[in-house]
Amino acid sequence: MSNEPFKVKDNIQEFIDEIKAYDSIRVDEIPEYRLFISQIEEFFDMKLGANINGDEEKKTISKTMIQNYIKDGLIMPPEGKSYNRNHIILLAMIYNLKSILTIKDIKKLLLPILELAEDEDKDEKIEYIYNTFYSIKESYLDEFPQLLDYDMDLICQKLDNSEEVGCEKIQQILLILTLVTQANVCKKLAERIIELHFSNPDDEQVDP
């Protein structure tokens, strides 16, 4: 059955293009020179969408956030008052992770990268990891309209013999429920992988 009643389809590509333009930072966009904390705020606002209302809690990054990330061990302290490219890469990773994972889990996940950051000879490896992630994210976004088509086709099939089949609002509700279910499954899977394969030394128990 056709999924044309899904009006959301008309805006999907526009939405994907918006994510590509304002929800990612490429490594080649990161300045080679060191940045002060105010410059980091400006850079993230420029790349990830400036905060119109000036609400600190809604900013993509802020001085307070960066200081808390340092305090919590998510990124290394700056050299003097300036931050290098590895700091920016880690902050970009945290930006992508923080809406799904807890600070505790992000710390566990980033610990191996923080260890690499301590070795100047491993700088290229950190950039390689982030570049690979960026490439995978781009590929997923390119394929997302097709994945969404599958979800909408499935919903229409399930509604095929129902009197609600032509109700756009019912279809939208089911699509949202489907997307949230997928997000929950992915979140739980990510948490389980972190639990099984990443460890935080602070959480380890010392045998008496």
What ranges do the domains of the chain cover?
Answer: 9-203
pLDDT reported for residue 203 = 56
Quote the Cα angle for 191-138-29, to 5°: 100
Q: pLDDT of 173-201, one tens digit each?
A: 999 999 999 999 999 999 999 999 996 55
Long-range contacts of residues 51-56, Cβ cutoff 8 Å, at least 24 apart: none
30-71: pLDDT as tens digits? 999 999 999 999 999 988 875 445 555 567 899 999 999 999
Distance between CA atoms of 100 and 60, rounded to whole angstroms?
Answer: 15
Query: What is the rounded (10 degree) CA torsion for 141, 147, 152, 153?
Result: 150
The number of helix segments (H) and strand segments (E) in the chain equals 7, 2
pLDDT at 78 over 60: yes
More confident residue, 165 or 71: 71
**How many residues in total does the chain contain?**
208
pLDDT at 204 over 80: no
**pLDDT exceeds 90 at position 24:** no
